[in-house]
Chains A and B, each alone.
Chain A
Amino acid sequence: EAGVAQSPRYKIIEKRQSVAFWCNPISGHATLYWYQQILGQGPKLLIQFQNNGVVDDSQLPKDRFSAERLKGVDSTLKIQPAKLEDSAVYLCASSSLRRSRNEQFFGPGTRLTVL
């Protein structure tokens, strides 16, 4: 089966600019996650979707970050405006609803550099 797809793989922007990331989960996976992984740290959950509804966005900086999952399939994460501290790898993951205790499948990530 195809894995989790993410684009772009790399992005360099200047602070105060906007950026968007795209994720296409594994077919049939109802749960989709966005993580932020800062260098030297573990992934931090930003937002978790169940189908097209938000389950957890407690760690999403809502003044600048937004995410949507229209139609319960692919998802976009947006940062507007970006700050220097947003430089990180943004990971998308998905898991199956039917096996809710299951592992997550991760995409390759988008490396964001904010100058």
Chain B
Amino acid sequence: AQSVAQPEDQVNVAEGNPLTVKCTYSVSGNPYLFWYVQYPNRGLQFLLKYITGDNLVKGSYGFEAEFNKSQTSFHLKKPSALVSDSALYFCAVRVSGGYQKVTFGIGTKLQVIP
């Protein structure tokens, strides 16, 4: 069975500081990894994905994530946080190939403090 762990319920960071939201995964086979963001009363929005190739992937709104196979991690990062980045962030994983189910983590609330 595949799973995703987001060990922090909430991350607080000052505006302008770098931010990291952690994610580790467990899957049998090659993983496809995703980050989504959810603003209040809205559906999830795609940020970025890792399928294959470069371990550092860049996505929307200045976010990036680094795939680390040995540590089975896919942490989300941004060099300089904005107040508008405050939201709920979900990491997700699926196995490569075919029509495979995506498993989401429980989410991490990011609070950027002005």
Q: Chain A residues in contact with chain B, CB under 8 A?
A: 4, 31, 40-45, 48, 50, 55-56, 58, 91, 93, 100-109
Q: Is the CB of B106 within 8 A of A42?
A: yes
Q: Is the CB of B90 within 8 A of A103?
A: no
- A-B interface contact total, Cβ < 8 Å: 55
Q: Is the CB of A41 within 8 A of B106?
A: yes
Q: Is the CB of A104 within 8 A of B32?
A: no
Interface size class of B (residues with CB under 8 A): 20 to 34
Contacting residues, chain B, for A103 (C-beta < 8 A): 34, 36, 46, 49
> Which residues of chain B from 78 to 114 have any CB-CB distance to chain A below 8 Å in the complex?
90, 92, 96, 98-99, 101-107
Q: Chain B residues in contact with chain A, CB under 8 A?
A: 4, 32, 34, 36, 41-46, 49, 51, 90, 92, 96, 98-99, 101-107
Q: Is the CB of A45 within 8 A of B99?
A: no
Q: Is the CB of A42 within 8 A of B107?
A: yes
Contacting residues, chain B, for A101 (C-beta < 8 A): 32, 49, 51, 96
How far is A81 from B103 in the complex, measured between Cα atoms in Å? 27
